[in-house]
Chain A
Amino acid sequence: MKRTGFLFDKRFLLHKTGPYHPETPERLEAIYKGIEDAGLLPKLTLIKTSRADLKWIETVHDKHYIDRFNDSCIYGHKTLDRSDNQMCSETYETALLAVGGILDTVNMVMKGEIDNAFCAVRPPGHHAESDRAMGFCYFNNVAIAARYLQMEWGVTRVGIIDFDVHHGNGTQHLFEQDPTVFYYSIHQHPSFAYPGTGREFEEGNGDGLGFTKNSPILPGQGDEAYELCIKNDLLPEFERFGPEVIIISAGFDAHVDDKMSDVNLSTKGFSWIMQMIVNMAERYANGKLISVLEGGYSLKRLPELAKNHVGILLNGGENVY
């Protein structure tokens, strides 16, 4: 059994998105309940959050953007940059708490206090660009964690795996010229899904050429297509790259019952992917794996998906079916 951390804080619920918005506090409650009802909480190292130091946010985001975000919340604006990004006066603080908790989690993993962790945070991050909010995302949690690993812990090669059904344009753009961070994303084909990026031929540029990899999945495809792409695209790339730490952008919206996508990944398919990743972390990164929540909007499916996700972290990738 692994020592698995679980980052959760009720303050992550304070970011409210208004009526008819899919990215709700209830998502996080469903995730917590799924883990609690499965009796997993006593087995986990519970992590409370703390506010992130702005200097870490600034490793990824433009200072003017950070100020603009803060001001928008102070003035009570209901959206930032696009009508999708609905928010409230607490959103800025909540976003800082999400990053802070993830950085605390990184510290625990690097000090060896825990082996791996799942960070159930809101708001999500992978669409956030250096200078603007996008697709419900404000601060790019995963990108900041990668930079923190490098600057604070001297890690030279960070591998990011993003299985949210939407392409993580923000994360890709932040690292596409950087050969020290490998970004892999598997998602619904950009011609049929937000945000319209993440095509096979986007492979990084400059020094970063060959350190970005995208596997688009066509609508209607499911477990089989995911399995093929993970085996043929992700495995050989990580074998070559050899990440010292792996970060997951964990979105659960590729599930067949999730209304935000048209791909048909099953609950079992999610577990298979997670086992592959845990095995990869074992092989290259001495087990060091930090999973960070992105999307996933089916309140009915989130409990079981979160339970399995954490269960696989705890079991070190053994078969849990």
Chain B
Amino acid sequence: MFISKSMTRDVVTTDKKVNILDAKDKMVKCKIRHLPVVEHDNRLIGIVSDRDIRSAMPSIILHDYNSREERERLSRLKVEDIMTPDPITISPSYTLQDALLLLQQKKVGVLPVVDKNGILKGIVGVRDLIRAFINVLGIGEPGMLLGIVVEEQIGKMKEIVDAITEEKISFGSILVARYWDEEKRAVFPYLLTKDISRVKKKLEKMGFTLIDPLQWYLEQLPKTS
């Protein structure tokens, strides 16, 4: 779960002396929204986002885009003039969980990954986290989701895992949703199999309540009186 496994390694970067219009072109071409700014030794000194660039551009409503002064002003603007210096960074030994919580707390779009000397090693953005989560959920592999309502009791999870393992079914993932009902949680094993009818029957026999997808579907429909 270390971030070095989930980050993008081939980072598109820019020099601080680059004109902002060229930086913008680079972002559009590479379909990215953030450009880390690095020195020649790949040491991170800042980051520039597409929003930083847009803020520096004249408004098409208020300004005459093509006036000479505007063009001259824009051609003089360099990345270093608008970048965020010393952005929030993480180290390659950060975990996926660290990165998620930090992104949420700091309200930033990306986290550059740097080593202890400040050299850029990678970058983690929302897209990288989505990829990591698809991997964690196991949903890139064929399988079926089972939903089980479980009392908050030690040992219940073991019973479920044992019952499924006895059927020789492999796990893609297990998610636990807390507080499904009061004092109950919902367990969602994603099972790498096509046939879950037998394991469903078995779990019901053991006293577990399965979440019926039909019931679930009906409950989320808009209520009509």
Chain A contacts to B: CB under 8 angstroms: 20-22, 82-84, 127, 134-136, 166, 169, 191-197, 218-220, 259-260, 262
**Cβ–Cβ < 8 Å partners of A166 in chain B:** 194
Q: Are B218 and A82 in contact (CB under 8 A)?
A: no
- Residue with the greatest number of chain A CB neighbours at <10 A, chosen from B170, B194, B218: B194
**Does B198 interact with chain A (Cβ within 8 Å)?**
yes
**Cα–Cα distance between A259 and B200 once the two chains are bound (Å):** 11
Interface positions of B (Cβ within 8 A of A): 139, 141-145, 168-170, 192-195, 197-198, 213-214, 216-218
Give bound CA distance, A23 to B109, whole Å: 49
Picked from A21, A196, A197, the residue with its CB within 8 Å of the CB of B144 is A196
Q: How far is the CB of B124 from chain A (nearest CB, A)?
A: 25
Are B198 and A220 neighbours in the complex by a CB distance under 8 Å? no
Chain B: which residue is nearest A137 at the CB level? B194
A153 to B166, CA, bound (A): 49
Contact of A192 among B139, B198, B213, B218 (CB under 8 A): B213
Tell whether, in the assembled complex, residue A84 and residue B213 are in contact, meaning their CB atoms are under 8 Å apart. Answer: no
Contact B217 A197 (CB under 8 A): no
Q: How far is the CB of A133 from chain B (nearest CB, A)?
A: 11
State which of A20, A194, A259 has its C-beta within 8 Å of the C-beta of B194.
A194
B142: chain A residues within 8 A (beta carbon): 127, 134-135, 169, 194-197
Given known A-B contacts A135-B142, A194-B142, A218 and B194 have beta carbons under 8 A apart = no
Among candidates B194, B198, B214, residue contacting A84 with C-beta atoms closer than 8 Å:
B194
Residues on A with beta carbons closer than 8 Å to the beta carbon of B213: 192, 219-220, 262
Q: Tell me the bound Cα distance from A219 to B217 in angstroms.
A: 7
* B197 contact set on A, CB distance < 8 A: 22, 259-260
Q: How far is the CB of B169 from chain A (nearest CB, A)?
A: 7
Write out the residue numbers on chain A whose beta carbons fall within 8 Å of the beta carbon of B195. 21-22, 84, 260
Question: How far, in Å, is A250 (CB) from chain B's closest CB?
Answer: 17
Closest residue of A by beta carbon distance from B213: A219
- Contact status B139-A194, CB under 8 Å: no
Q: Chain B's nearest CB lies how many Å from the CB of A316?
A: 35
What are the residues of chain A within 8 A of B198 when measuring CB–CB? 20
